[in-house]
């Protein structure tokens, strides 16, 4: 199975960080909230208009609102994995839990 996730990374006045999001829209919305939203003056241009422009060209709009020292990036990553392996590992984990529960029960009965 192939899964695509989006990462958002930043280095700004508040520090350095990263997050993983399920869609590009979610990554862009998070980047907007982090980089642009606090700097928007609704008297000059409504936030909704700025957000619409941001979704069309995020890095151009960020240039208007952020410091040149701040950096932000988003990109997609494809992860391939076998569902069979995931299921196997989940079952092994549950079996281990059952073994621990059984031995705790057995020890409590012996005491």
Count of the separate structural domains present in the chain: 2
> Range of 100's domain?
83-111
Whether residues 76 and 93 share a domain: the answer is: no
Question: Tell me, what's the pLDDT at 75?
Answer: 96
- Round to whole Å and give the CA distance between 71 and 73: 7
Question: Tell me, what's the pLDDT at 43?
Answer: 75
Task: Provide the whole-model pTM.
Answer: 0.70
Whether residues 73 and 29 share a domain: the answer is: yes
Whether residues 53 and 7 share a domain: the answer is: yes
Rg (CA), the chain: 23
Tens of pLDDT, residues 13-71: 889 999 999 999 999 999 999 999 988 887 788 999 999 999 999 999 999 999 999 99
Angstrom CA distances, 91 to 49, 82, 94, 105, stand at: 50, 14, 5, 21
Whether residues 66 and 19 share a domain: the answer is: yes
Instruction: Kindly list the strands in the beta sheet with 71-80, ordered across the sheet, starting from the edge strand earlier in the chain.
Output: 15-21, 2-12, 71-80
Whether residues 34 and 75 share a domain: the answer is: yes
């Amino acid at each position: 199975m192939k899964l695509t996730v989006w990462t958002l990374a930043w280095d700004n006045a508040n520090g350095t960080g990263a997050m993983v999001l399920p869609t590009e829209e979610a990554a862009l919305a998070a980047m907007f909230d982090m980089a642009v939203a606090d700097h928007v003056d609704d008297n000059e241009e409504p936030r909704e208009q700025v957000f619409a422009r941001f979704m069309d060209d995020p890095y151009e709009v960020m240039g208007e609102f952020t410091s040149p020292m701040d950096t932000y990036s988003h990109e997609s990553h494809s992860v391939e994995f076998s569902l069979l392996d995931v299921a196997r590992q989940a079952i092994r984990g549950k079996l281990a839990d059952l073994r621990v529960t059984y031995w705790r029960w057995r020890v409590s009965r012996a005491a």
